Amino acid sequence: MIFISIVFIIIIPVNAIFFGLAIAAVTCGGIDLKRVKSGISTKKGKGFDIAGIVLGGLFILFVTWFLLGEFLIPH
């Protein structure tokens, strides 16, 4: 039981950091796609922008779905 407690003490802050990075990926990807569309930036990193938006969005949806399920489903 103590092992599970220690693991969760480590996992929860790591997930919070990844959630913040996912928000940053979606934001930065959107900003750069807007710059590419307006012609300010080159199209060289457009694939990375799309990948950041998709993967960041999927992680945000997964975490939101997990948290809603955890708090709304009675145990």
The answer to whether residue 14 is domain-embedded is no
The answer to whether residue 2 is domain-embedded is no
pLDDT, tens only, 5-41: 888 888 888 888 999 999 999 999 999 999 998 888 7
Can you give the pTM of this predicted structure?
A: 0.77
pLDDT score of 67: 83
Domains held by the chain: number: 1
Amino acid at 50: I
The answer to whether residue 70 is domain-embedded is yes
Q: Which domain holds residue 35?
A: 23-75
The answer to whether residue 45 is domain-embedded is yes
The answer to whether residue 46 is domain-embedded is yes
The answer to whether residue 72 is domain-embedded is yes
The answer to whether residue 7 is domain-embedded is no
15 vs 27: CA distance, rounded Å: 18
The encoded tokens of residue 41 equal: 């930036």
